[in-house]
Structure 1
Amino acid sequence: MALSEDGSHDDYLFKIVLLGDSGVGKSNLLARFARNEFYSNSKSTIGVEFQTQKMEVNGREIKAQIWDTAGQERFRAVTSAYYRGAVGALVVYDVSRRQTFDSVGRWLNELHTHCDMNVITILVGNKSDLKDAREVSTAEGKSLAETRSLFFMETSALDSSNVNAAFLTIVTEIYSILSKKVMQSQELKKDPSIGSKKTVVLDPKQDANNEEKKEEAPKKSWCCSS
Structure 2
Amino acid sequence: MSRTSGNARDCDYLCKIIIVGDKGAGKSCLVQRHVNEEFQALGPLPIIGVDFKIKTLVLEEKVIEIQLWDTEYPHAGRLWVGFYRGAKGALVVYDVTNEKSFQNVTTWLKNIENYVDTDDIKLILVGTKIDDVHRRVVSRKDGELLAKQLDISFIETSAKNNINVDEVFNNIIHSAVNTGIINKKLQTQIIPPISKEKDSTCSSYSCSIILLSNSTSKHKLYPCNMTSTDVFKVVTFNILAPCYFRSLKSITSGVNFHDAKTHELESGNPEMYRKRFDLMINMIKTDEKPTDHNNLFSADVFCLQEFWFTDEIVHIFENGLMKGNNAYDHSFYMRRPFPKKDGLACFVRSSEKLKVISHKGIDFRDVGERVAQLLHIQIKDGEQNIIIVNTHLTFPHTKFDENILRMQQIKSITNAVDEYIKETKIDPIVMVTGDLNTSTHTKKDLTLEHLEKEGYTSSYKKLHGNHSFISHFNHNNETVGADYIFYRNGLHSSTNVSDVYVYPKQITDKEWVGEEKVSTHWMSDHRPLVASFDIAQ
TM superposition score normalised by structure 1: 0.73
1:83-162 map, 5 Å: 83-118=84-119, 119-162=121-164
Deviation (angstroms), 1:64: 1.1
Inter-CA distance 147–92: structure 2 relative to 1 (3 Å threshold): same
Residue in structure 2 matched with residue 21 of structure 1 by the alignment: 22
Deviation (angstroms), 1:56: 2.1
Q: Give the SS at the match of 1:178.
A: coil
Amino acid of the residue matched to residue 21 of structure 2?
G
Kindly indicate whether the alpha-carbon contact (under 8 Å) linking 2:28 and 2:42 is maintained by their aligned counterparts in 1. Answer: no
Please tell me whether residue 40 in structure 1 is matched to residue 41 in structure 2: yes
4+ long deviations beyond 3 Å: 179-182
1:132-211 map, 5 Å: 132-178=134-180
Amino acid of the residue matched to residue 37 of structure 1?
E
48, 51, 59: which is aligned to 1:49?
Answer: 51
Q: Give the SS at the match of 1:81.
A: helix
Kindly indicate whether the alpha-carbon contact (under 8 Å) linking 2:177 and 2:183 is maintained by their aligned counterparts in 1. Answer: no
Q: Is the radius of gyration larger for structure 1 or structure 2?
A: 2
Moved more, 157-166 or 71-80: 71-80
Deviation (angstroms), 1:132: 1.1
Amino acid of the residue matched to residue 65 of structure 2?
K
Amino acid of the residue matched to residue 164 of structure 1?
D
Amino acid of the residue matched to residue 167 of structure 2?
A
Which has more helix, going by share of residues?
Answer: 1
Deviation (angstroms), 1:74: 4.7
Kindly indicate whether the alpha-carbon contact (under 8 Å) linking 2:13 and 2:183 is maintained by their aligned counterparts in 1. Answer: no
Q: Give the SS at the match of 2:88.
A: strand
Q: Give the SS at the match of 1:101.
A: helix
Amino acid of the residue matched to residue 72 of structure 1?
Y
Which has more strand, going by share of residues?
Answer: 2
* CA displacement 1:44-95 (0-9 Å, x = unmatched): 44121111111222222222101011x2235831111000100110000000
Report % sequence identity: 35
Inter-CA distance 50–132: structure 2 relative to 1 (3 Å threshold): same
Inter-CA distance 79–180: structure 2 relative to 1 (3 Å threshold): closer
Distance in 2, matches of 1:172 and 1:181, equals 12
Distance in 1, matches of 2:55 and 2:16, equals 11
Distance in 2, matches of 1:178 and 1:110, equals 23
Distance in 1, matches of 2:181 and 2:111, equals 28
Distance in 2, matches of 1:112 and 1:174, equals 17
Distance in 2, matches of 1:157 and 1:76, equals 27
Moved more, 85-94 or 114-123: 114-123
Q: Give the SS at the match of 2:79.
A: coil
Q: Give the SS at the match of 1:93.
A: strand
Kindly indicate whether the alpha-carbon contact (under 8 Å) linking 2:76 and 2:108 is maintained by their aligned counterparts in 1. Answer: no
Distance in 1, matches of 2:162 and 2:43, equals 16
- Structure with the bigger RCO (C-alpha within 8 Å, sep 6+) is 1
How many pairs are equivalent? 176
Deviation (angstroms), 1:9: 4.3
Q: Give the SS at the match of 1:132.
A: coil
